[in-house]
Chain A
Amino acid sequence: MAERRRRGSVAALPYAAGMPPPSPSSAPRVGAAHARLRSATAHLHAGVDDLFANGLDSVPRYRRYVLGMHRFAAEYEIAVAAAPRHSAWLAGDLASLSLSPLPPEGERRPASGAAARLGWRYVMAGSSMGARRLLRDARQLGYDDSSGATFLAQHAASDEWGRLRDRLQAMDADDETRMAEAETGACAAFALVRSCFARSFERIPATPAHEPCR
């Protein structure tokens, strides 16, 4: 068990769900606000990464990923009051994969405050980093930028992470109130990613060949 965790945190994490690695050795020097967010969300982030410990190495895993990400993107866009760009790309991928979307559940309101929204954006923008690796996986499975992997292609090519990092650099990490709001936003977003994937895993059961018993 300990062996698997270690392997997961070193090798698999940069892959996972497209989120930024919590401790990337090659990443540029991180600002203080970024570091605080990364530390505050590390446990949630690792939990999400564990869901895709081997990346998107099978069609069922890829389908789970697209289905869960669509639900997350739809909620994210409400939370940060953004136009539905990510969810539109994912809607196209769902159609290519012949997948029914997960319907919305409960209530979702915009996150209150710019700092909380920044926390949400940290999670979505961060996933654009991992999207480059995931896009390679998706292409291996036969999906491409125009069919089945539009989201990953667009997301990987975007500069969301660069812009977000600039905003984090400009943030005062000693402003406890704002930092706490940002952390709350980021934690809420990670928790939502987790629950969206829980739903997509339930919808698309693992096939024995792809999901050996552990």
Chain B
Amino acid sequence: MTAELERALQACASEPIHLSGAIQPHGYLISCRLPDWSIHHVSANVEALTGAAPDAMLRRSLREFITDDVIQTIAETVGFADPGGPAQRAAVANVGPLATLCEVSVHAADGLVHIEIEPQQRGAGDRSPTVVAQAMIARVAQGDQDEGFHQRVAEQVRLLTGYDRVMVYRFRHDDAGEVVAESRDAAMPSYLGLRYPASDIPAQARRLYLHNRIRVIPDARYVPVPILPDRSAGGQPLDLSQLSLRSVSPVHLEYLANMGVAASMSISIVAGGRLWGLIACHHRQVRHVPPGVRAAADLFGLFVSMRVAAREQQACTQMEDAARNVRDALALRLSRSGNGRACLPGELGLLHRAVPADGLALLQAGQWQTTGRTPPAACIPALGDWLAQAAHPGAPITSMRADDWSAGPGATDGIAGVLALPLDPARDEWLLFFRREEVEDVRWAGRPDEPLLVDADGTRVGPRASFATWHETVRGASEPWSDADLRMAVRLQMVLRDHYPGPGERAAEADALRGRRSRMEVQDHRTRLGQVSELLENLAHVSPDETAALAERISRLEEDLRLLVLASGSDRDALTGR
């Protein structure tokens, strides 16, 4: 990678895209302060709507330009919304001297009420977004729980919006994106399975998409309309994060143009507090998506997020439950044996199931004992050197690349990933989980090593011009070790340490370990509760009966927890003689 390209990538990653100071021209912005509705910012095109120049509107009251009934509806909508939350549809109203029929959306941020007004497009339809979203949800919920879910999502969004191409785009562990489902016009080439470099959607854009869940560009060749003034009262650039009309990065517009895309929309899929992926829509011609359709798409996106989050959590819970059962069984056998160290070689089958891996090796007193797929014993010296270099006292050590700990995948019988648990580092005793190398034939959308085009002098930066499929065979790496894998490994390590006392390890240390383990278990439960509460956030449309049943179960849980707290309190009292 050239220094210019590196600088360009850095510049793209640090561009404050929420401070563009402008909106897209298919609507108008009026930003007011309550309680007097004094106008503090307007888009430069506002005169076309209100008949009054920006200069004549600023510092005046909105009441001079918009009728009281519309202002009342805006006030009610803002009253219900969370400050800093996304824009909400407030009204369909006639605005201005020409009584232009407009959709009015509103949100509050930084002490301002931002009112976005979009003239209604012909044939916008008046179906209730909730009803539309419910029908879509019913259709994707049919059929197998997992098989084809994303495909049905893509098809439903295409039916709703009419875009030429709708993709479900998933972020991988390395933040590159991958098209996992696609519904498209037959004349469009397929992007299914294509991968996009992480820099295509830089980190600040991914952060923004966590909170601003839906973004539409009806005409990617638009000329942005400046906001007057484009700074807040405090002198900072106006934060446009939640504006539906926010003008996007010029680099992104060029990216769309290079792809032959004239209009786009994307809906965030959020699971476990992170951006799991996007529903990305492209069209070859200018395409307006009325706010009502956007609202339906947003609700549908919330449902998809909830389903993805629930599915991920379920898979994680199942895996962790299975690993817990394995640990319990192991603890029982080790305690029965009375000598954990001697007993371990007989329990390799069980140990292998404690962390998802293709193989397991136990290194004890120079002995290499294995189950499943493992590298040959000839790798031990190099592996030992790597462990000695990487060692953090007592903590698991991981790598997903064979190059790190061997002469390469050729020398390891196709093993690439290793997760090493120290049993007794002083005696060089380790438990090692292995994962095989994943040889992947990756199809990139354009060359991944040249995501941006940069002039020789580095001043002009643009996205790549070609999105022609670029084949790459990725070798030498395994599936990465996830946070969940590491959690399971640490739990296993604690069980083993209980029954695997090193020389000189005393009862006090064992007690400390047990205390740490129980704290970690409580922490586990907290994490799970947190995940459950995230699911609740997305439950916008459930029946009162279901809400009541949920409330009752939460009350029972609260009561159980309260009793536990009381019980532990009285235990302490008994111990301290109070």
Asked if residues A103 and B228 are in contact (CB atoms below 8 Å), the reply is no
Interface range, A side: 20 to 34
- Using known A-B contacts A78-B235, A108-B235, A109-B235, determine if residue A103 contacts B19 with beta carbons closer than 8 Å: yes
B54 within 8 Å of A (CB atoms): yes
A107 within 8 A of B: yes
CB of B522 within 8 Å of the partner chain: no
> Which secondary structure dominates chain B's binding surface?
loop
Stretch at the interface among B218-226, B351-359, B413-421, B491-499: B218-226
**Chain B residues with CB under 8 A of A92:** 44
Q: Kindly identify which residue among B53, B223, B230, B235 contacts A100, using a CB–CB cutoff of 8 Å.
A: B223
Count: A-B pairs, CB below 8 Å: 76
A76→B237 CA distance, assembly (Å): 14
| Contact-residue size bin, chain B (C-beta under 8 Å from the other chain) | 20 to 34
- Give me 22 A-to-B residue pairs in the complex whose CB atoms sit less than 8 angstroms apart, sorted by A's number: A70-B226, A74-B228, A74-B231, A78-B231, A83-B59, A84-B58, A84-B229, A88-B53, A88-B55, A91-B226, A92-B44, A95-B45, A100-B22, A100-B247, A101-B22, A101-B230, A103-B16, A103-B22, A104-B238, A105-B237, A108-B231, A205-B459
Q: Which 9 A-B pairs have the closest CB atoms?
A: A91-B44, A104-B237, A84-B228, A103-B21, A91-B226, A101-B226, A109-B235, A107-B235, A88-B54
Contact of B460 with A87 in the complex, beta carbons under 8 Å: no
**Given A98-B223, A100-B224, A104-B230, 13 new contacts (CB under 8 A):** A83-B58, A87-B226, A87-B228, A88-B55, A100-B250, A101-B230, A103-B19, A104-B21, A104-B231, A104-B237, A105-B237, A205-B459, A205-B460
Chain B positions 125 through 151: 1 when the CB is less than 8 Å from some CB of chain A, otherwise 0: 000000000000000000000000000
B268 contacts chain A at the CB level, 8 A cutoff: no
**Per-residue interface assignment for chain B, residues 240 to 273, with 1 indicating a CB less than 8 Å from any chain A CB and 0 otherwise:** 0000000100100000000000000000000000
Given A100-B224, A104-B237, A108-B231, is A84 in contact with B54 using a C-beta cutoff of 8 Å?
Answer: yes
Interface-centre pick from A78, A101, A103, A105 (highest chain B CB count, 10 A): A103
Smallest CB gap from B47: residue in A: A88
- CB within 8 Å of B: which of A68-86? 70, 74, 77-78, 83-85
Write the nearest CB–CB distance from B95 to chain A, whole angstroms: 20
Pick from A84, A94, A105: contact of B55, CB under 8 Å: A84
Contact between A101 and B229 (Cβ–Cβ < 8 Å)?
A: no
Report how far A85 CA is from B230 CA in the complex, Å.
Answer: 13
> Does A202 sit at the interface, judged by CB under 8 A?
yes
Closest to A102 in B: B21
Looking at B44, B226, B228, B238, which has the most chain A CB atoms within 10 Å of its CB? B226
Q: Are A88 and B230 in touch, CB under 8 angstroms?
A: no
A74 to B54, CA, bound (A): 13
Residues on B with beta carbons closer than 8 Å to the beta carbon of A74: 21, 226, 228-231
